[in-house]
Structure 1
Amino acid sequence: MRFQPLALSACLLFIPGTLFATEKSVYGLNEYVSLPELKLEVTAKLDTGAETASLSARDITRFKRNGETWVRFYLAIDDSHSHPIERPLARLSKIKRRAGDYDPAESQTYTARPVVELDFCMGGTLRTIEVNLTDRSAFQYPLLIGSDALTRFGALVDPSLKYAAGKPGCATVANSAE
């Protein structure tokens, strides 16, 4: 098979255009994230190997309000978060347990976590993100952002960078359609 120089040139000219057709933002391994509804800014770890976002929470309870299931929780970030937060339950997420996190004699290799929607501001971008609630107080970062949320942010993650987006600076209304 012989390549035609004109066809090859046309293909090479087309490839860079397709790479930039979808605008992506470069973020570092760690970023500052604002949760405007909670009047809170936290540091987050961006993890392309995780599917969902996880926020550090404690005393998580489900309850009914007007026939709908809601979740009440406290942030497990530091001692200053002593007031409960209440949000509608979006769904329950099945999270695979790590090898050291379960007893092999048990049949459950998954744990069910409540998922709520929260507005996240990272850099200059604001999105409504589903986040599961679990106690992450043993971890360095109270917020883990997985691939679902990273996709919604149009994120490219460069693990050699930290805080590449700078401090969050977003408008007050999230765009959940993007």
Structure 2
Amino acid sequence: MRVKAFFLLLCVLTLPTTSLAGNKTIYGLNENVGLPDFGLEVEAKLDTGAQTASLSARDITRFKRKGESWVRFYLAVDSAHAHPIERPLARISRIKRRAGDFDPEEEKTYTARPVIELDLCMGKVKRTIEVNLTDRTAFQYPLLIGSDALTRFGALVDPSRTFIAGKPGCLNESDADE
């Protein structure tokens, strides 16, 4: 009798957690992500410890076009992307520097990075998210997806699994979830 009561109590206590997770999609620590604006698929690291998303870019230049702030950059994901990309600048983000990255002469504890809006898709889900541009060529993954974007995707991350969402559906299909 006591075991049944304990089991029943355990079931009742986990019920709210189960219902909250019901609207979420489980993704792995790494996923294939589509960048439909560029007709490209890249491997990404899903990082709940990072707030923002970062895309590997090089030769990043800010400029004005008709009084508006824009950014020009080259994708730094492979050697095939040798043409410049121009996008409206959404904002400038301040990324906290790590202790080893801090230069006392600069007296800044952050790095300013340009941010653009970009469509991303994981599995069949497509969302527009903010992505900061930085050179990630020293890292294994050209795209890092932080908690802000993961929230927009309704994501739960299972770090024990990888590439569980499958190929991004929005690169070949026009009916990806908006």
TM-score relative to the length of structure 1:
0.87
Structure 1 alignment gaps of length 5 or more = none
AA aligned opposite 1:29: L
* Kept in 1: contact 2:169–2:176 (CA 8 A): no
What do the CA deviations read for 1:134-165 (whole angstroms, capped 9, x no partner)?
A: 00000000000000000000000000000010
Give 1:19 deviation, angstroms.
Answer: 3.1
- 3-state SS, counterpart of residue 12 of structure 1: helix
Residues 128 and 84 (structure 1), Cα distance of their counterparts in 2 relative to 1, 3 Å cut: same
Q: In 1, Cα distance between the equivalents of 2:175 and 2:132?
A: 22
Give 1:20 deviation, angstroms.
Answer: 2.2
Give the equivalent residue in structure 2 for 1:90: 90
Q: In 1, Cα distance between the equivalents of 2:34 and 2:64?
A: 28
- 3-state SS, counterpart of residue 136 of structure 2: coil
Matches within 5 A, 1:1-178: 12=12, 16=15, 19-21=18-20, 23-170=23-170, 171-172=173-174
Q: Which range is displaced more, 104-113 or 129-138?
A: 104-113
AA aligned opposite 1:103: D
AA aligned opposite 1:74: Y
TM-score relative to the length of structure 2:
0.87
* Kept in 1: contact 2:54–2:143 (CA 8 A): yes
Q: In 1, Cα distance between the equivalents of 2:88 and 2:174?
A: 20
Give the fraction of aligned pairs with identical amino acids, expressed as a percent: 72
Number of residue-to-residue matches in the alignment = 168
Structure 2 alignment gaps of length 5 or more = none
Q: In 2, Cα distance between the equivalents of 1:149 and 1:134?
A: 17
Q: Which range is displaced more, 142-151 or 18-27?
A: 18-27
